Amino acid sequence: MDLKQIASFVKIEHTLFSLPFVFIGALMAGDPTYAQYFWILIAAVGARGLAMGLNRIIDRNIDAANPRTANRHLASGSMSLKTAWILCGIFLGMLVLGAGMLNPLCLYLSPIPVIAFVVYPYLKRFTWLCHWWLGGCLALAPAGAWVAITGEISSNSWYPDLLYVSLGVLIWIAAFDLGYAQMDVESDKKNGVKSFPATFTPPVTMAAMLVSMPLWAVAFSIVSPAGTLISLGFVTTVLVAAGNNFQDWWFRAHASTGWILLLAMQL
C-alpha cells in the first residue's frame, strides 16, 4: 500500500478543516516554539487519521450500501480490515507520541479525542445530533493546541476567547456537515442513519445551516473580525450561487475558512 492510497483512505484533504484551528489555538495560547509546532502537527495528523480510520472501519457496511461511498477502500474490499486497523494503530501512536512530547497534561488527556472519535459513527445511528458531535470532535483541535502550549487548564486564561473559538468550530463544522449529508438522504433513510437531512425536510435543513452561519461568525470574530467577514462572505456567496456544483464549492468554502482566519490573525 502506497502513501497515495493511505491519503485517500483517511481523506487527507479533510485535514484542511482542523489544522488551521490547531495553529490558531496554539497562537492564542502564547508564542509556540518550532519544536512545539512540530509535535502539535504530529499529534494533529495522527488524531485526524485515527478519526477517519475508525469511521471507515465502523461504517464499512453502511458505506457498502450507499452508491456514493460503495467504492471506499473497506466497502469495496480494496483494503483489508487488518490493514485499516494497523493504520489506526500507527495514527494512534502519532497522537500519543506527539502529546507525550508536548507535556504530561496533553498525554493524560489524549484518550478524550479517541473516545469522541469512536462515539461519532455509532451516534449517527441513533440521533441527528451526530452533526454537532462531529463539530465537537473538531472543536478539540484549538483546545488541544492550547493545552499543548500552556500545559494547564486550571486557570481561567482560556476563558472566554478559547471557549468562543471552540464553540465556533463546533457550530461551523456541524453546518458544513449538514450540507454534505444532503447527498446521502435516500441512502441514510434506507440504512437507518439518523442524519438531520434524512430526519427533517430540505427547508428545515437549509434553515439550520443559515442560522448557524452568523453564530460561528460571531464566535470566530474573536480571532479576526476582518477574516471572519471574508470567510462569511465567501460561504454566503457559495450558498447562493454554487448551483449544480454546490457540494464541491461548499467543501472548498469551508476548507478555506480556517486558513483565512489564521492568515488574518497574522496581519
Mean pLDDT of 136-146: 96
Task: Spell out the SS3 assignment of 208-240.
Answer: HHHHHHHHHHHHHCCCCHHHHHHHHHHHHHHHH
Rounded Cα distance, 26 and 149, in Å: 6
Q: Could you read off the pLDDT of 74-83 as tens digits, one per residue?
A: 999 999 999 9
Residue 85 structural domain: 3-266
**pLDDT of 184 over the 80 cut:** yes
Q: What is the mean pLDDT of the chain?
A: 92
Rounded Cα distance, 131 and 251, in Å: 15
- How many domains would you assign to the chain? 1
Residue 240 cell numbers, joined: 447562493
Q: How confident is the model at residue 227 (pLDDT cuts 50, 70, 90)?
A: very high
Mean pLDDT of 149-176: 93
Instruction: Report percent pLDDT > 90 for the chain.
Output: 78
Say what the pLDDT of residue 251 is. Answer: 85
- Supply the CATH number for residue 63's domain: 1.10.357.140
8 A C-beta contact, residue 106 and residue 99:
yes
Say what the pLDDT of residue 212 is. Answer: 95
Record the pTM: 0.94
Using CA atoms, how far residue 93 sits from 45, 46, 252, in Å, is 11, 7, 30
Start-to-end CA distance of the chain, whole Å, equals: 42
Long-range contacts of 4-11 (CB under 8 A, 24+ apart): 5/73, 5/79, 6/87, 8/73, 9/52, 9/53, 9/56, 9/73, 9/79, 9/84, 9/87, 10/48, 10/49, 10/52, 10/53, 10/56, 10/87, 10/91, 11/52
15 Cβ partners below 8 Å, 6+ apart?
A: 44, 45, 48
Q: How confident is the model at residue 178 (pLDDT cuts 50, 70, 90)?
A: very high
Q: How confident is the model at residue 54 (pLDDT cuts 50, 70, 90)?
A: very high
**pLDDT of 1 over the 70 cut:** no
Helix 202-220, helix 225-241: angle, nearest 10 = 160
**pLDDT of 36 over the 70 cut:** yes
Mean pLDDT of 188-215: 94
Say what the pLDDT of residue 242 is. Answer: 65
